A and B are shown apart, each in its own frame.
Chain A
């Protein structure tokens, strides 16, 4: 809890209805989607404007109080975990779409705008906002900018950074700076490019100019059932080698299919490796490419190939895929979501290694992956009530990340480093690399007030509890859902 005079300063900055200090209300903000890390903030503010954000950040700078900005709290790496005794800046009330310029293909939004609402706003004009994290119906653009969120369709369309043209940010000093421009190649360093994906450590974005994309003429979705994930992976490699760039290439293994079926009845074929291929573009081109995809899948030995015949069928296929994490609750009491990336060609090797590692410790690992760009989401299933199993599961999940790095990949493709993977970042990057990143951090935030003690490795404290999923009270009561 902050001292009374500081609370009064905050109240002056955001008004009485924009300030939360009651412990029972603060608890709502004690974690994000990585629910087993919990820290009670000193205060939560809900500003309505850039000026209010600036007043709060200036307050924090003056008193050297750490702050953490937060969108919808769906992040899976603890990026929005409060700093102990610090201020949480919830951008939920800054949720206006400020400008829509269809002809120049951009929109200007406040950070609390929900991802899917951007597409809803421009859909009547035939446009969409491309990054589509599974949580897109609730997650905010501000959070997407912090995490450089991806989604199933970033294989073709790119990530949040690809679609972020400009930012208005409140720097940790409280100054306002405008990074980038709605026009390309604004003079100066590409600070917008650096800010996106900095996980809230460089300041608070208060306005975001997003690129929107012309909706493709046709979208076709195909499911192909294989005996193993590796066969599905080979099909992915052959599709890419044929020079195609599908908008999505997803693989689920048998456990993931079982869970998704139990949760949303997507009518997936039961098989060892299910491949989802989505192609979009001009109608004639998509037809031709889809014939080629079918031929490749048949050659690799698909037992069944199915094309979505309607928008409803397509939506159901995606519903199953996007619910895959949450669905794990149907087949396991507890699970850890991981987010590693490997070169596509390493897929068979990594899958068999994960299989070997998991059977050695008698745990099940379900695999869901954005196969086109090698982004694996291994889900380590375990039962916390069995003594020692949580530690084993955690250890396994981190060893899988190390395996990804050893294969030339990354410890995170879209969930971010946050609190969860600080140490793993030290496995991926050498000290000179991390020190160079710190030069940027120090230029933006010399006092380390903005989301401190995240992303970069540090000596682990004994109180830390990394990793696994623990249901939040809101989730237990059915009010909220984890994506």
Chain B
């Protein structure tokens, strides 16, 4: 137990068993894992942890547990028993889903009425709604539908002091009170535990087709990508994949079936000089492969769309000089997932990361480290945040979680 804890692990275990039941409370080598059955039980667990200075990491499937700075908590709080699609008001295009529901299970439920939450996060079969929201993950569909900030209309959260609070509502248009759900989205579980989320929904994309265009070097895509985004096409997603074998630009068009051919022709006019193929829909999950090797450092970089192609080309060159392999998937929004691998030289890897951060910073860009091999854990600041809003963020954290029990140290600036 940590120095701040005022109770032994055995006593803590007994209390948590009392709240969630013996079959839902386990002790492993480093922490107690507890799965409450309701928001009320989450509140009871947090009240107990808060009173006794026990650190808590809310975790769904654990798929993104390594994102951000490392935390070794006393309690893992899993919402896997709280996983219902509680309400699907399909005629209103809204739903309420509990945090432990996997993304894929939610989408399957919504698809019965031809609807979806228009977001394609990593590992939908495993990732839970709460985890996707807490880490603000998003995929290629963000170009068309926006991110979670645009799709979440309300939330129920549990604070460290056991307060259960609702924010927003079940209607899309709503400006009553502060949007606490925007504060919670991407806060990495440092302010409270998400119990359920209300989403606005979109119709499932039915008539979509994808194409890929190849080039030896990402700079070849700069002008066509710019033209593509300026063209008035029914664009659903666009991304660049780059790696050892060259670069590909994937485009997805979604429109009415009778319009698809016309849009395809216009698309081909933009890319006329590049070799092209119909792409398999699986290219849109390419991001997942970047995490496949546990030895790779994986980061999420954010940059201006016009910086994408040149930055990718420079990164490939500088990494090659350092003997580091690079694979990446860059969405047209500027969000780029980068895997750096194949180098035993950790200093070189850190150097590449710092170089890229320095390049992105002047135009407002940033880079978050998502995955690092064990030897690098704790050796680099996962966030690299230099914002002058950090004191304000710390004050918000202090107000929400005065004892610092929720995910301590995981977030920006040591929050």
User: Chain A interface (Cβ within 8 Å of chain B)?
Assistant: 101, 103-105, 126, 147-148, 150, 154, 158-159, 161-162, 166, 171, 175-179, 181-191, 193-194, 197-198, 214-217, 237, 240-241, 243, 245, 281-282, 284-285, 288-289, 341-345, 370, 373-375, 408-417, 421, 425, 428-430, 432-437, 439-444, 455
CB of A181 within 8 A of CB of B91, answer: no
Size bracket, chain B contacts: 35 or more
What's the minimum C-beta distance from B144 to chain A, rounded to whole angstroms? Answer: 11
* B147 adjacent to chain A (CB < 8 Å): yes
Which of A187, A215, A409 has the largest count of B CB atoms less than 10 A from its CB?
Answer: A187
CA distance in complex: A217, B266 (Å): 13
| A158 and B147 within 8 A (CB) | no
Task: Decide if A147 touches B259 in the complex (CB within 8 Å).
Answer: no
Residue interface mask B192-235, A partner, CB < 8 A = 1: 00000000001100100000000000000000001001101110
A206 to B360 Cα, complex, angstroms: 24
Asked whether B389 lies within 8 Å of A433 as measured between CB atoms, the reply is no
B91: contacting residue among A187, A198, A344, A416, CB under 8 A: A344
Whether the pair A187, B392 counts as a contact (CB closer than 8 A) is no
A–B complex contacts, Cβ < 8 Å, 14 sampled: A105-B229, A183-B363, A184-B334, A187-B366, A188-B389, A188-B390, A189-B191, A190-B183, A193-B149, A245-B203, A284-B259, A288-B259, A436-B157, A436-B167
With contacts A191-B389, A425-B177 taken as known, whether A409 is within 8 angstroms of B171 at the C-beta atoms is yes
In the complex, residue of chain B having the shortest beta-carbon distance to the beta carbon of A197: B175
For the complex, what is the distance from the CA of A166 to the CA of B364, rounded to whole Å?
Answer: 10
Contact A183:B302 (CB < 8 A) given known A189-B396, A288-B256: yes
**Which residues from chain A contact B107 at a C-beta distance below 8 Å?**
none
B234 touches A281 (CB 8 A): yes
**10 closest Cβ contacts across the A-B interface?**
A193-B182, A243-B203, A181-B364, A217-B232, A436-B165, A187-B385, A410-B174, A413-B173, A373-B173, A177-B389
Of the candidate stretches B8-16, B49-57, B303-311, the one touching chain A is B303-311
Q: Do A154 and B165 have beta carbons less than 8 Å apart? A: no
Q: Assess whether B302 is in contact with A185, with CB atoms less than 8 Å apart.
A: yes
> Do A126 and B230 touch (CB < 8 A)?
yes
Interface residues of B (CB under 8 A from A): 89, 91-94, 114, 136, 142, 146-147, 149-150, 157, 159, 163-167, 169-180, 182-183, 185-187, 191, 202-203, 206, 226, 229-230, 232-234, 255-256, 258-259, 262-263, 300, 302-306, 333-335, 360, 363-366, 368, 383-385, 387-393, 395-396, 398-400, 411-413
A374 to chain B: which residues have CB within 8 Å?
92, 171-173
Q: In the complex, what's the smallest C-beta–C-beta distance from A450 to chain B, in angstroms? A: 13
Nearest B residue to A240 via CB reads B93
Alpha-carbon distance between A260 and B389 when the two chains are bound, in angstroms: 47
User: A441 to nearest B CB, angstroms?
Assistant: 8
Contacts A166-B364, A176-B388, A188-B387 known; A437 to B177 CB distance under 8 Å?
A: yes
Q: Contacts A188-B387, A188-B389; is A341 near B363 (CB within 8 Å)?
A: no
Measured in the bound complex, the distance between the Cα atoms of B92 and A410 in whole Å is 14
In the complex, A416 Cα to B206 Cα: how many Å?
Answer: 37
Tell me which of A188, A284, A375, A416 has the highest count of chain B C-beta atoms within 10 A of its own C-beta: A188
Q: Are B364 and A442 in contact (CB under 8 A)?
A: no
Contact A410 B368 (CB under 8 A): no
Assess A443 versus B392: contact at CB under 8 Å? Given A185-B147, A412-B174.
yes
From the candidates A103, A183, A284, A415, name the one contacting B365 in the complex (CB within 8 A).
A183
Question: In the assembly, what is the distance between CA of A159 and CA of B174, in Å?
Answer: 10
The CB with the most chain B CB atoms within 10 A, among A104, A105, A442, is that of A104
Q: Are B259 and A282 in contact (CB under 8 A)?
A: yes
Contacts of B306 in A (CB 8 A): 103-104
Please determine whether B399 and A442 come into contact, CB atoms closer than 8 angstroms.
yes
Chain A residues with CB under 8 A of B136 = 185, 190
Shortest Cβ distance from residue B412 to the other chain A in the assembled complex, whole angstroms: 5
Residues of A within 8 A of B255 (CB): 282, 284-285
Point out the residues of chain A lying under 8 angstroms from B300, CB to CB.
185
Residue of A nearest to B137 (CB): A185
Q: Which of B169, B363, B395 contacts A410 (CB 8 A)?
A: B169
Question: Is A436 touching B180 in the complex (CB atoms < 8 A)?
Answer: yes
| A184 → B minimal CB distance (Å) | 5
Complex CA gap A415/B175 in Å reads: 8
A344, A409, A410 pick with most chain B CB within 10 angstroms? A410
> Closest Cβ of chain A: how far from B251's Cβ, in Å?
15
Task: Knowing A147-B175, A412-B175, say if A103 contacts B226 (CB, 8 Å).
Answer: yes
Question: Which residues of the partner chain A approach B177 to less than 8 Å between Cβ atoms?
Answer: 417, 425, 428-429, 433-434, 437, 455
A344 to B89 Cα, complex, angstroms: 10
Which of A147, A150, A198, A440 has most chain B Cβ within 10 Å?
A: A440
- Closest chain B residue, CB of each to CB of A446: B395
Q: Which residues of B contact A436 (CB under 8 A)?
A: 157, 159, 163, 165, 167, 180
Within the complex, the shortest CB–CB distance from A272 to chain B, in Å, comes to 22
* Minimum Cβ distance to chain A for residue B358 (Å): 15
- Residues of A with C-beta under 8 A to B364: 166, 181-183, 186
CB distance from B65 to the nearest CB of A (A): 18
For the complex, what is the distance from the CA of A442 to the CA of B393, rounded to whole Å? 12
B residues near A344, Cβ cutoff 8 Å: 91-92
| Distance to closest chain B CB from A430 (angstroms) | 7
Q: Which of A162, A166, A190, A245 has the most CB of B within 10 A?
A: A190
Evaluate contact between B304 and A440: CB separation under 8 angstroms.
no
Question: How near does chain B come to A101, taking the closest CB pair, in angstroms?
Answer: 8
Report chain B residues within 8 Å CB of A171. Answer: 392
Q: Which of B157, B203, B233, B392 contacts A282 (CB 8 A)?
A: B233
CB distance from B136 to the nearest CB of A (A): 6
User: What is the minimal beta-carbon distance from A451 to any residue of chain B, in angstroms?
Assistant: 13
Partner of B180, one of A183, A416, A430, A440: A440
Choose among B180, B259, B366 the residue that contacts A181 (Cβ–Cβ < 8 A): B366
Name the B residues within 8 Å of A341 (CB-CB). Answer: 169, 171, 173-174
B136, B259, B300, B383 pick with most chain A CB within 10 angstroms: B259
B175 in contact with A194 (CB, 8 Å)? no
Contact A439 B387 (CB under 8 A): no
Residues of chain A within 8 A of B179, CB atoms compared: 161, 193-194, 197
Is B387 in contact with A178, judged by CB distance below 8 angstroms? yes
Question: Bound complex: CA of A406 vs CA of B263, how far in Å?
Answer: 45
Chain B minimum-CB-distance residue to A345? B91
Closest to B149 in A: A193
Q: Which residues of A contact B262 (CB under 8 A)?
A: 284
Contact of B399 among A412, A425, A443 (CB under 8 A): A443
Bound CA span A344–B166, Å = 21
Instruction: Kindly provide the distance from the CB of A311 to the nearest chain B CB, expressed in whole angstroms.
Output: 17
Q: How far is the CA of A288 from the CA of B258 in the complex (A)?
A: 8
Cα-based distance from A364 to B110 in the complex (angstroms): 41
Q: CB-nearest residue of chain A relative to B142?
A: A184
CB distance from A108 to the nearest CB of B (A): 11
Q: Which residues of A have CB within 8 Å of B390?
A: 188
Contacts of A410 in B (CB 8 A): 169, 171, 173-176
A432 to B161, CA, bound (A): 11
Which residues in A have their C-beta under 8 angstroms from that of B229? 105, 214
Tell me which residues across on chain B come within 8 A of A245, comparing CB atoms: 202-203
Partner of B259, one of A191, A285, A434, A440: A285
With a cutoff of 8 Å between Cβ atoms, the chain A residues found around residue B142 in the complex are 184
Cβ 8 A contact of A148, one of B164, B175, B387: B175
Most chain A CB within 10 A, of B94, B147, B157, B186, is at: B186
- Given A188-B393, A437-B178, A439-B396, CB of A343 within 8 Å of CB of B94: yes
Contact B396 A184, beta carbon cutoff 8 Å: no
Asked whether A243 lies within 8 Å of B114 as measured between CB atoms, the reply is yes
Asked if B392 and A191 make an inter-chain contact with CB atoms under 8 angstroms apart, the answer reads yes
Evaluate contact between B93 and A443: CB separation under 8 angstroms. Answer: no
In the complex formed, the residue of B with least CB distance to A201 is B178
Residues in B whose Cβ lies below 8 Å from that of A216: 232
Could you tell me the distance between the alpha carbons of A365 and B177 in the complex, rounded to whole angstroms? 27
Contact assessment for A432 and B165 in the assembled complex, using a CB-CB cutoff below 8 Å = yes
The CA of A237 and the CA of B363, in the complex, are separated in Å by 44
